[in-house]
Structure 1
Amino acid sequence: MAARADIRWAPVMRNPPRSDAWQRCFVALAPDDASRDALTSSALTLPDPARRVPYAQLHLTVAFIGALPFEQGDRLASRLRGRALPIPPAPVERIECWPAGAHPRLMVAVLALSDAFVALDWHVRSSMIETGLPVDARAFRPHITLARFARDASAVAPLCDFAALPPMRFTSLVLYSSTLAKQGARYEALASVPLD
């Protein structure tokens, strides 16, 4: 696949002057508006203690990076440009609490692991290795986080009727930086590569 020239860098302010890296970075797929609408619909009932992930922050993480020096970030974005493969609509297989319903931290929509997801995972990991970044050894599990729980949350069972959810569609591959705040993490797009 030929490298694409349509990578878009967001006008972000780099971290404070003493820093030489973006913090808490990751590569993710951005869902389209119809998928976001379905995932935030009031018809998708979540347990009471769950805090929904805001509409604009819904994403499917492909790889965690951590701190990302500016120069490596530029190189990684350039490599990702030629590796943003189209992802066919991905069905939701189930809703789960992670790490477990007895001690939930997250509620996630688990998507079917397709050949397209496997190829994208390989391409992103290859780009990270070529850029000199460490790669997480954990297996890729395509999912979208729907809600978060407090550390001391009691046991819950997913209450979502996910059968009505449409297959998830994705518009772009995005390099994000995350900032922690009292209200939760805020994600900022550093670079975005369209998938179409």
Structure 2
Amino acid sequence: MARLFIAIELPDEIKETLSSFCCDLPGMRWVPTDQIHLTLRFLGDVQPKEAAGLKEALAAIAFAPFPLTVQGVGHFPPHGHPRVLWIGLEESRPLLELQQRIETAVAGAGIVPEERRFSPHITIARIKENASAAVKLFEVKHRQLSFPPFTVEDFILFSSVLSPKGATHRRERTFRSRS
């Protein structure tokens, strides 16, 4: 059994800039630079037989390369004590269409459909204690955050192994764009 998720890798320049934000905010566990990504679908534990079917279904997805713009900041949940600090994305119809095709492929491989609506974001920190004031200051400081668009040409199936030091991600397979 493997713990899997599907994501878009970000350009190194964006990941390095986002990593540079890990500053003196108390109670936050920052995502390591090499693990910053845009999750399209978290799958959880998947049996080998389902994983094989999933890879086949994902390989059948056709999509054209498209631009994506990383911009803005926020947190989850939107009300109450923040638990996740995230960087946002400019609205993108091609991104939503790709995610929907992935969701259809996942369901076709026999994996339980996601019940929550897809909310595109890049997690940069998990918040361990009540840090509402620090999160608010961070969001005010970075609310104008925006990067030049980059082109999405593939998505990746990752496995994730949990340990006391955190998760380790490994690329299982890359799926390239094609029209």
- What pairs up with 1:1-196 in 2 under 5 angstroms? 21-23=1-3, 25-42=4-21, 47-83=25-61, 85-86=63-64, 88-100=66-78, 102-150=80-128, 152-155=129-132, 156-159=135-138, 160-167=141-148, 169=150, 170=152, 172-195=154-177
* TM-score, length-scaled by structure 2: 0.82
Q: Distance in 2 between matches of 1:28 and 1:75?
A: 18
* Structure 2 unmatched runs, 5+: none
Shift of 1:63: 1.1
CA deviation digits over 1:61-83, x for unaligned, max 9? 11121211112212211221232
- Distance in 1, Cα, partners of 2:84 & 2:68: 20
What letter corresponds to residue 81 of structure 1 in structure 2?
Answer: A
Task: Quote the Cα distance in structure 2 between the aligned partners of 1:123 and 1:144.
Answer: 20
What amino acid is the match of 1:22? A
Contact 1:97 1:158 in 2 (8 A): no
- How high is the sequence identity, in percent, across the aligned residues? 25
Question: Offset of 1:162 from its aligned partner?
Answer: 4.8
Partners of 2:63 and 2:17 lie apart in 1 by: 24
Q: Deviations over 1:92-131 (max 9, x none)?
A: 3421121147412110012123111121111101111211
Structure in which a larger fraction of residues adopt helix: 2
SS in 2 for 1:177: strand
Q: Structure 1 stretches of 5 or more lacking a match? A: 1-20
RMSD: 2.4
CA contact (8 A) 2:73 2:145 kept: no
Describe the shift of the 1:164–1:105 C-alpha distance in structure 2 as closer, same or farther (beyond 3 A): closer
The answer to whether the 8 Å contact 2:161/2:167 transfers is yes
What count of residue pairs does the alignment treat as equivalent? 173
For 2:60 and 2:106, locate their aligned partners in 1 and report how far apart those are by CA, in whole Å: 13
